[in-house]
Chains A and B, each alone.
Chain A
Amino acid sequence: MNTKLIRTYIRTPLLVFLLVGAATTAQGLMMVLPKRETWVGHWPATSASVSHAVLFGAIIASAAAAWVIAGPRRGRFQDLLTGSSRPPAAVYGYGLIAVAAGNLVGYAIVAVTVSAITAPEAVRGHLDVLELLPVLGSVAAAIAVGAVAGRVMPPFLAPAIGGVLPYAGYAAATYADVLFNRTLFMDLVSMDYTAREHFLRPPELLIAKAVLAIALGVALLSWMLGARGVWFGAGLVAGLALSATLLVAGVRIELPATYAVACTSDRQPILCVDNAYEHVLDDYSHHIDAELSKLPGLDMSGVVFVPEENLLDLSKRHTGVVPDLEPGTLMVVVPIVDGNTNPAHSIDPALFTANFGVSVLHQDCGTELEFSGPVAYEWWLELNELPTDGSNFPGEGSVRSQIDADPNFAAQRQRLAELTPTQQQASIANHWNNLKSCATGADSR
């Protein structure tokens, strides 16, 4: 009978642990991995990305806690528990600990996964444990909110209500910040979507909001379980932590060194990125070379490819240092962006190819050239089997429609199409060389 009896105690909490752990892990990975281009290779962004798993992770924890606490009322056996000689914290504790452990393990798996993805790409840094503190805090707060819902709400509705409450809190914070047009209330919640490339959240903020969430959770749980002394103490700590959080809410610490520009020195064309994107430099170089290999004959001497238009200006402003580039250097901006044209930490090949075509070929010059920008760009898209209907990235515009609508462009397209592939490449190379000559005076440094 021994084994059976031991199973009695652990079966339900173990099941709760496994279910909460699996659900937290699955949703966490689904929330974080599809946006890997926003953090991969960059430790501060990677560290902060774990908090994105909290949005639905908190819902899972809260709903599960509500389900656990409402269980005895749901099964109408609460009298069995209230007659226990063990304190309520012990009676309900195992279920809540199982929820907390499942939630924490889920977040840990998310943290380990993103770290494992970032580590081979990153050139410096490590996982910032401070960024994980608010995630830790969210577990206590979500479980406490769910437990209270499980205690006071109708037992069959409690899990649903418990699940809604964390999201309602998040939505309320978002709405309040929009209403007051400032970042204040969003810094009370555990999720943090602030970009980390050139900014740091103050450690005081991360610690204070973690302490706030934990103290709030402990206060709610101890109030619910009748531990008055703990309730008072935790409430006091929560009040102090709230003050501290509000004091530093909205603060972002700028990191000037992250604007420092690093350039390749041993190749033509030159490539430059800033410190925050240095881990992309090799990949950037690889992709630039791959695109250039499709365009033999392009004169790339004195050309610098950069992913950000203000790269050099920002470096000069924040660090006082700019790369030593020769006069007359032509800067070509080929951005590294995600599908929404936000700066990214990894290169989407198709998007990059399209952006390369825009930056190199879809340009105008004061004087009439053999081909206009749209015609050269359409040729480039077709060469790479990319759509010409403007669907490569937001704001691209349909180059096909543009050419169809202009007889001059249409005639250029026809002329280009009548050439052999080798002749086309030679013509496009000539087009680039003309553009370069044209631009070197106006858009060079």
Chain B
Amino acid sequence: MTGPRKLKAHGLSFSYGRHPVLSGVSFSLGAGAHVVLGRNGAGKTTLIRLLAGAATAAGGTIKLGEDLLDLRTRSGRALLRHIGWLPQEFGYPPHMKVVDFVAYAAWLKEVPKEQLVSRVEAALEAADMTEQARRPLSALSGGQLRRAGLAAATVADPEVLILDEPTAGLDPEQRDGFHRLILELRKTKVVLIATHLLEDVEALAEHVMVIDAGAILWTGTTDELASTSDGPGGLQGLRQGFRAVLGAAQ
């Protein structure tokens, strides 16, 4: 079984009017969990939106393997079939049931008709949402809603899974459950998580990119991040390492 193709960004830049948000962002990510770590306003969400096809970069390229993501062409846009995305602001069609929502996501990702039912069932099961499949989205708890979103993001069995602040607003128990799902998914996919929560980094990441002011400041493993400071390991070490990286840049 071959693994997922690499997600490659090269020289990505983006600005809102005259205000640059990203500049010269480059990386290449293989299978596993990768975290984009940064403060609020660092450019995490913008980077995620570019990778998910929700916005077009002013400069630079995004490739999956050797295929170029280009929203202006049919073949370039078709690449989004292999990229699943759970946005930070997770809206949903009102009154839609979970199963309908996941099926709609499958349609949007061009899942072949003959595979639709099995894919929807598999995604719901993987997200532990089979029992809630017939419930309307509006009746779900925050954690269930995130899991429904994850089912929608994975229904097309993407090679790349992009999660923007996936555990924001979840209680510790819900967060643990979500972590378990992602740990399973990272075995076979490129999982890219944007977060400012070090708990997520500690629980999920094998590889960390620290982003600030639209540029990647540092990249390495979680252990390497913790060791950039002289502090203890674990969550405290990550916190001190993160501060050290940001401090070194200023």
Chain A interface (Cβ < 8 Å from any Cβ of B): 1-2, 4-5, 8-9, 71-72, 75-87, 91, 226, 228
Contact B78 A85 (CB under 8 A): yes
A181 vs B52: C-alpha distance when bound (angstroms): 56
A76 to nearest B CB, angstroms?
3
Is B27 an interface residue when CB atoms closer than 8 A count as contact? no
Which of B71, B72, B91 is close to A77, meaning CB atoms less than 8 Å apart? B91
When distances are taken between beta carbons in the complex, the residues of chain A under 8 Å from B71 are 226
Q: Which of B50-107 contact A (CB under 8 A)?
A: 52-54, 71-72, 74, 77-81, 83, 85, 87, 89, 91-94, 99-100, 103-105, 107
Contact A8 B91 (CB under 8 A): no
Contact B110 A85 (CB under 8 A): yes
Residue total for B at the interface (Cβ-Cβ under 8 A): 33
Scoring B53, B108, B110 by chain A CB atoms within 10 A of each residue's CB, the highest score goes to B108
Is B140 an interface residue when CB atoms closer than 8 A count as contact? no
A202 vs B221: C-alpha distance when bound (angstroms): 76
8 interchain pairs, CB-CB under 8 A: A4-B99, A75-B92, A76-B91, A79-B91, A80-B87, A80-B91, A82-B52, A85-B109
State whether A75 and B91 are in contact (beta carbons under 8 Å apart), knowing that A2-B117, A80-B105, A80-B152 are contacts in the complex.
yes
Q: Across the two chains, which residue of chain B brings its CB closest to A12?
A: B93
When distances are taken between beta carbons in the complex, the residues of chain B under 8 Å from A75 are 91-94
When distances are taken between beta carbons in the complex, the residues of chain A under 8 Å from B72 are 226, 228
B85 to nearest A CB, angstroms?
5
Which of A2, A78, A84, A86 is close to B91, meaning CB atoms less than 8 Å apart? A78
A86 vs B80: C-alpha distance when bound (angstroms): 9
When distances are taken between beta carbons in the complex, the residues of chain B under 8 Å from A8 are 99-100, 103-104, 107
Which of A1, A4, A76, A81 is close to B108, meaning CB atoms less than 8 Å apart? A81
A228 vs B77: C-alpha distance when bound (angstroms): 15
Q: Across the two chains, which residue of chain A brings its CB closest to B106?
A: A5
Contact B53 A82 (CB under 8 A): yes
Contact A83 B121 (CB under 8 A): no
Contact A1 B54 (CB under 8 A): no
Is B120 an interface residue when CB atoms closer than 8 A count as contact? yes
Is B213 an interface residue when CB atoms closer than 8 A count as contact? no
When distances are taken between beta carbons in the complex, the residues of chain B under 8 Å from A5 are 99-100, 103, 116-117, 120
When distances are taken between beta carbons in the complex, the residues of chain B under 8 Å from A4 are 99-100
Cβ-closest 8 pairs across A and B: A76-B91, A84-B108, A77-B91, A85-B80, A85-B81, A79-B87, A82-B54, A8-B100
A2 vs B103: C-alpha distance when bound (angstroms): 10
Contact A1 B104 (CB under 8 A): no
A252 vs B68: C-alpha distance when bound (angstroms): 57
Q: Across the two chains, which residue of chain A brings its CB closest to B118?
A: A1
A66 vs B152: C-alpha distance when bound (angstroms): 26
Q: Which of B96-139 contact A (CB under 8 A)?
A: 99-100, 103-105, 107-110, 116-117, 120-121
Q: A1-B99, A77-B92 are in contact. List 4 more A-B contacts (CB 8 A).
A: A75-B91, A78-B91, A83-B53, A83-B80
Contact A9 B107 (CB under 8 A): yes
When distances are taken between beta carbons in the complex, the residues of chain A under 8 Å from B83 are 83
When distances are taken between beta carbons in the complex, the residues of chain A under 8 Å from B78 are 85
State whether A80 and B108 are in contact (beta carbons under 8 Å apart), knowing that A1-B117, A85-B80, A85-B81 are contacts in the complex.
yes
Contact B108 A83 (CB under 8 A): yes
Which of B85, B104, B110, B121 is close to A79, meaning CB atoms less than 8 Å apart? B85
When distances are taken between beta carbons in the complex, the residues of chain A under 8 Å from B91 are 72, 75-80
A400 to nearest B CB, angstroms?
64
When distances are taken between beta carbons in the complex, the residues of chain B under 8 Å from A91 are 108
When distances are taken between beta carbons in the complex, the residues of chain A under 8 Å from B107 are 8-9, 86
A404 to nearest B CB, angstroms?
69
A75 vs B100: C-alpha distance when bound (angstroms): 15
A91 vs B108: C-alpha distance when bound (angstroms): 7
A77 vs B121: C-alpha distance when bound (angstroms): 22
Contact B94 A84 (CB under 8 A): no
Contact B92 A87 (CB under 8 A): no
B116 to nearest A CB, angstroms?
6
Q: Across the two chains, which residue of chain A brings its CB closest to B121?
A: A1
When distances are taken between beta carbons in the complex, the residues of chain A under 8 Å from B120 are 1, 5
When distances are taken between beta carbons in the complex, the residues of chain B under 8 Å from A84 are 80, 108-109
When distances are taken between beta carbons in the complex, the residues of chain B under 8 Å from A87 are 74, 77
Contact B89 A85 (CB under 8 A): no
Q: Across the two chains, which residue of chain A brings its CB closest to B73?
A: A87
A128 vs B92: C-alpha distance when bound (angstroms): 47
